[in-house]
Amino acid sequence: MEITKPALAGTLESSDCQVTVEPGDGKIDFALESAVINQYGNQIRKVVMETLNNLGINNVKIAIVDKGALDCTIKARVEGAVSRATDHFENNLWGGTGK
Amino acid sequence: MNPNKKRLRRTMMFLNAQKPGLVKDPYIYNPDSIMLDLEDAVAENQKDVARFSLFHALKEIDYRGCERVVRINGLDTAYWKEDIRCAVAGGCDAIRIPKTESPEEVRAVEAEIAIAEKDFNIPVGRTLIMAAIESARGVMKALDVCESSERLFGIALSGGDYTKDLQTRITGTGVELMGARQNMIIAARAAKVQCFDTVFTDLDNMEGFRKEVETIHLMGFDGKSIVNPRQIPVVHDIFTPTQKDIIFAEKVVKEIEEKREKGIGVFTVDGKMIDIAFYDGAKRTIELAKASGVYKGEL
Amino acid sequence: MINAVGRDIPDEILKQTGKQPFMGNHHFDGYEYKKDGPVTKCVINNTDSKMVDNIREVLVKCGIKDGMTLGFHHHFREGDYIVNMVMEQVHNLGIKDITICASSLGKAHDPLLEYIEDGTIVGIQSSGVRGKIGQAISDGKLKGLAIMRSHGGRVRAIESGEVRIDIAFIGAPTSDDYGNLRGIGGKSNCGVLSYSMVDADYADKVVAITDCLVSFPNFPAHISMTKVDYVVVVDEIGNPDKIATGAAKPTSDMRKLMMADYCTEFVVNAPYFKDGFSYQTGVGGASIASTVSLAKVMKERNVRMRFGVGGLTKPMCDLLENGQVDALLDTQDFDLSAVESVIKTKHFRISAGEYADPFNKGAVVNKLDYVILAALEVDVNFNCNVVVGSDGVVTGAQGGHPDTAAGAKCTIVISPLIQGRIPAICTNVTTVTTPGESIDVVITDYGIAINPKRQDLIECMKEVDLPFKTIEELRDIAYSIVGEPERVQFDDKVVGIIEGRDGTIMDVVRKIKKFEFSEA
């Protein structure tokens, strides 16, 4: 999938994270701001990279402001932002065979 | 029959499916069920991403035995079919249909669930249904709704929309909900499904809440919708059988099982006439007592 | 050298400080020493005034010079103006290499950052620090070692002569012209002056700073004129709204209420819950809620408390008001209800030394049955961290945590299992402030762990309906939800020490390293 426009998902509430994506320059640019970066920075990056990989995204600038989100929230927010940036809301990311 | 159809559902806690802070560990408050909401709690401009949150929450969070019900968007919206697919793929236990007014609506949801179960390799019949009644028409159709699907485990009153439809409002006295409650519990019992009462939104009025729960408990309701965890212990407390009830129920169950083998139909326990019709009620008392942590016997 | 809580204390730090590694709570029991004494300048004449026009002038009169140690108290909490006011003048005089020995410092003292950076301040000794000072220490900006010591430990350090305070500044809500000081009666009331009492006794020069001068005698004095050299009147010593806040609204957060209920259930089932028991609690939402729910059970079961200690808040003062406790022993007041309660006959002011000093002939904490505390982190050895954030930055205070935990018969720590994404129960705390041997019970929203060394408590809780788990189980639950945290990346440089209450080294604080992603 190709990121065609900037998009954002998530909030700055506790336990959430805000993910911004915009068209990349040929690679994945990853930026993270988090109060738990020391303990979970590597884990967060791993989850983000896996999620992008699953979505087939390899050309994006992605910036995350994390407020202590769990992995499931990080995945959801990355998918949400990518979905908005690709106008692909109906895509069945849960792996279904529906429409 | 799906064994979960009759499970204990004293409390069903409402949670916005895309609020991570709410969704991460509601089980510590011990609700019997949680309801992850895609409908009213999710703002229109977040509908497009709320499903991602729901899906990963269902997939990754261990809700430690709490039943996970998903409230989908109304059948008059563009969202409901994908809501079902997402919820079923995530492995939810049940779908809650808002604004139900007819058995056809339940069957439409049932059909979508069946397709999704097949698509996502979920055992067919695993996903249950509950129907929320939110209008005068819904109340009048309650029995038909209750009997519409093998997957349907119960109906729930949604008082806010219902009272608007009735051209009144929530007064705190319960007078405006009297007819709906009566009609719905009777319909649910006639169809042998469960019946749940509406939310109580005045969080600071714990005394009023307790009174309302006492009322619906006596009316025969199986449980209540919950909007704040503080309400949970109150409901569980009121739904906890008394020691006297438990001891009696235990005797009834044991005696019926024993007498049945001997072919005796009617007998007395503590001076009361007992027959097989008492069995289910007594079993339910024991189950409630167990769930409430007050029964340590061998049944 | 590895100390009694398993922390490696570098030899050069032991050498540099002349301190010993922590060897257990009672290692120094029975230790004999001769107390230090202050230099005292007598006032025999009846003509001279103690009144000085301003802080600059009083600094000069006190002979301020490079390398001195200045004492401060934190009764004004985040509303304090005194420390900044004094340090501004010290800075203006061009004085360098000052060590601040405060009972505590907070975000209110962020302006000191400038003086740390320019060498005015080279040493900080405090119960704790927050905000910019904490960040500066963790960034290695402070020239000397920061020393974090408990309230009892500070008194010990001063009385034993380990720390000599050259000039002590005592912000006083009221003073007369001869230096009789009270914590009440002015516009910036803090209730008591407990932490300052040791400064008044042991500092060479004692300066009272007030914004409410009253006529002589300001009696009963909380600190006597016999110990005060000078009195300075300023416009404002602090911000009253931040000194004593309105009583906190009882929490409606179900998680905190649940933990409070667990706590009360534990307290009433422990063997110490009987007529005449004693109790102390902190100011966290769950701690306050547990005092409220305990009061209810005390009433139902007709059990009276003999004395309550604090760190006082409204719920504790309500016990006195309602006749449920015989006496309150007060070291600090957190809200207006507590300040107003100070004048009651059964509300007694005590000094920080009486409260918690391990090196006197017995402190109040030793008579405590229960203390309810909080913690940033607790590890599987029950060691607690209350000073260093999980991100490695100094951002909290020991307060009386190690003192009360060591003294009380039943020490209960309440903490939600997960804060943000940080597991409060972990394998190894970032920094040890209170040793696991002091901690008896940890209460979380996910369950309760009793320290295995308290088999007696485990035994008497056998029939109690509470969600008991082992501490390892709690950690495992936390890790299963948030993932196992990586260790914070520190530099080798030691920037501070966590001092045990007996003056030994409990742990060291290292300079923080900027986070870098590992190679993917």
Q: In this structure, is residue C472 part of a structural domain?
A: yes
Alpha-carbon dihedral sign for residues C74, C78, C79, C81: positive
Q: In this structure, is residue A94 part of a structural domain?
A: no
Same domain, C99 and C201: yes
CATH number reported for the structural domain that contains residue C433 in this entry: 3.40.1080.10
Q: Which candidate in B56, B60, B70 is best for mutational testing of the A interface (most A CBs within 10 A)?
A: B56
Indicate if the pLDDT at residue C126 is higher than 90: yes
According to the annotation, is B280 in a ligand binding site?
Answer: no
Q: Which candidate in B11, B15, B24, B28 is best for mutational testing of the C interface (most C CBs within 10 A)?
A: B28
* Distance from C-alpha of C369 to C-alpha of C272, rounded to nearest angstrom: 6
Q: What is the pLDDT of residues C175-184, one digit of tens each?
A: 999 999 999 9
**Three-class SS of C15-46:** HHHCCCECCCCCCCCCCCCCCCCCCCCCCCCC
Cβ–Cβ under 8 Å, residues C268 and C293: no
Residues of A within an 8 Å Cβ radius of B: 9, 13-16, 69-73, 75-77, 79-80, 83-84, 89-90, 92-98
Q: Which chain A residues contact residue B20 at CB under 8 A? A: 13, 15-16, 69-70, 73
Q: Which candidate in C251, C256, C258, C463 is best for mutational testing of the B interface (most B CBs within 10 A)?
A: C258
Q: Which residues contact C323 (CB under 8 A, 6 or more apart)?
A: none
Model ipTM value: 0.93
Nearest CA distance, B82 vs chain A (angstrom): 8
**In DSSP terms, which residues pair with C245 in a beta bridge?**
C335
Whether B228 has its CB under 8 Å from any CB of chain C: the answer is yes
* Domain edge (last residue) among C187, C210, C243: C243
Q: Where are the alpha helices (DSSP H) in B131-177?
A: 136-140, 142-146, 159-165
Q: Look at chain C and report how many structural domains it folds into.
A: 2
Indicate if the pLDDT at residue C247 is higher than 80: no
* Distance from C-alpha of B156 to C-alpha of B96, rounded to nearest angstrom: 9
Distances (CA, A) of C407 to A26, C279, C410, C512: 63, 12, 9, 33
pLDDT of residue C520: 59
Q: Which residues contact A93 (CB under 8 A, 6 or more apart)?
A: A54, A55, A79, A83, B52, B55
Same domain, C449 and C472: yes
According to the annotation, is B161 in a ligand binding site?
Answer: yes
* Distance from C-alpha of C436 to C-alpha of C425, rounded to nearest angstrom: 13
Q: In this structure, is residue A93 part of a structural domain?
A: no
Per DSSP bridges, beta strands C51-52 and C98-102 are unpaired
Same domain, C189 and C209: yes
Same domain, C237 and C258: no
* Distance from C-alpha of A37 to C-alpha of A69, rounded to nearest angstrom: 11
Neighbours of C104 (CB within 10 A): 24
* Domain edge (last residue) among C186, C219, C243: C243
Cβ–Cβ under 8 Å, residues C80 and C74: yes
Q: What is the pLDDT of residues B37-56, one digit of tens each?
A: 999 999 999 998 999 999 99
Residues 55-94 of B with CB under 8 A from A: 55-57, 59-61, 82, 85-86, 89-90
Q: How confident is the model at residue A89 (pLDDT cuts 50, 70, 90)?
A: low
Same domain, C164 and C272: no
Q: How confident is the model at residue A28 (pLDDT cuts 50, 70, 90)?
A: very high
Q: What is the pLDDT of residues B174-218, one digit of tens each?
A: 999 999 999 999 999 999 999 999 999 999 999 999 999 999 999
Cβ–Cβ under 8 Å, residues C251 and C288: yes
CATH number reported for the structural domain that contains residue A54 in this entry: 3.30.230.10
**Structural domain boundaries, residue A49:** 7-85
Tell me B123's DSSP state.
P
Q: Which chain B residues contact residue C481 at CB under 8 A? A: 24-25
Tell me C246's DSSP state.
P
- Residue C37: phi, psi to the nearest 5? -145, 155
b or e along C438-454 (b: 16 or more beta carbons within 10 Å of the residue's beta carbon)? bbbbbbbbbbbbbbeeb
**In DSSP terms, which residues pair with C335 in a beta bridge?**
C245
Mean pLDDT for C337-355 is 96
Q: Look at chain A and report how many structural domains it folds into.
A: 1
For residue C3, give the nearest of C472, C505, C456 by alpha carbon: C505
Q: What is the pLDDT of residues B55-86, one digit of tens each?
A: 999 999 999 999 999 999 999 999 999 999 99
Q: In this structure, is residue C315 part of a structural domain?
A: yes
* Cα R_g (chain A), whole angstroms: 13
pLDDT of residue C391: 86
| Mean pLDDT of chain B, nearest integer | 94
Q: What is the pLDDT of residues C386-442, one digit of tens each?
A: 999 988 999 999 999 999 999 999 999 999 999 989 999 999 999 999 999 999 999
Maximum distance among all Cα pairs of chain C, rounded to whole angstroms: 78
- Tell me whether residues A94 and B120 touch, CB distance under 8 A: yes
Element (H, E) at C210: strand C205-210
Same domain, C89 and C196: yes
Q: In this structure, is residue A27 part of a structural domain?
A: yes
Is the model's pTM score more than 0.90? yes
Nearest residue, CB atoms, A38 vs list C481, C482, C515: C515
pLDDT of residue B207: 96
Q: What is the pLDDT of residues B22-36, one digit of tens each?
A: 999 999 999 999 999
- Residue A20: phi, psi to the nearest 5? -115, 130
Cβ–Cβ under 8 Å, residues C298 and C328: no
Neighbours of C112 (CB within 10 A): 24
Share of chain C above pLDDT 70, in %: 100
* Distance from C-alpha of A80 to C-alpha of A13, rounded to nearest angstrom: 16
**Structural domain boundaries, residue C123:** 50-243
pLDDT of residue B169: 94
Domains annotated for chain B, with CATH where assigned, are 3-239 (3.20.20.60), 243-291 (no CATH)
Q: How confident is the model at residue B280 (pLDDT cuts 50, 70, 90)?
A: confident
Q: In this structure, is residue A51 part of a structural domain?
A: yes
Indicate if the pLDDT at residue B168 is higher than 70: yes
Indicate if the pLDDT at residue A97 is higher than 50: no
Whether C419 has its CB under 8 Å from any CB of chain B: the answer is no
| Mean pLDDT of chain C, nearest integer | 96
Indicate if the pLDDT at residue B104 is higher than 50: yes
Same domain, C209 and C309: no
Q: How confident is the model at residue A98 (pLDDT cuts 50, 70, 90)?
A: very low
**In DSSP terms, which residues pair with C209 in a beta bridge?**
C171, C232
Same domain, C325 and C463: yes
Same domain, C221 and C363: no
Per DSSP bridges, beta strands C441-444 and C447-450 are antiparallel
Neighbours of C488 (CB within 10 A): 20
Mean pLDDT for B259-274 is 85
Q: In this structure, is residue C405 part of a structural domain?
A: yes
pLDDT of residue A94: 75
Same domain, C340 and C432: yes
b or e along B258-278 (b: 16 or more beta carbons within 10 Å of the residue's beta carbon)? ebeeeeeeeeebeeeebeeeb
Q: What is the pLDDT of residues C90-105, one digit of tens each?
A: 999 999 999 999 999 9
Indicate if the pLDDT at residue A90 is higher than 60: no
Same domain, C212 and C87: yes
Q: Which residues contact C251 (CB under 8 A, 6 or more apart)?
A: C257, C285, C286, C288, C289
Cβ–Cβ under 8 Å, residues B234 and B23: no
* Distance from C-alpha of C316 to C-alpha of C344, rounded to nearest angstrom: 13
Cβ–Cβ under 8 Å, residues C142 and C124: yes
| ω into C217 cis (within 30 of 0) | yes
Q: In this structure, is residue A44 part of a structural domain?
A: yes
* Distance from C-alpha of C356 to C-alpha of C501, rounded to nearest angstrom: 9
Mean pLDDT for C294-306 is 97
> Where is pLDDT greater, at C55 or B255?
C55
- Concatenated DSSP letters for C138-207? HTT-SSS-EEE--HHHHHHHHHTTSS--SEEEEEESEE-TT--EESSSSSS--S--GGGHHHHHH-SEEE
Q: Which chain A residues contact residue C510 at CB under 8 A? A: none
* Distance from C-alpha of A73 to C-alpha of C314, rounded to nearest angstrom: 40
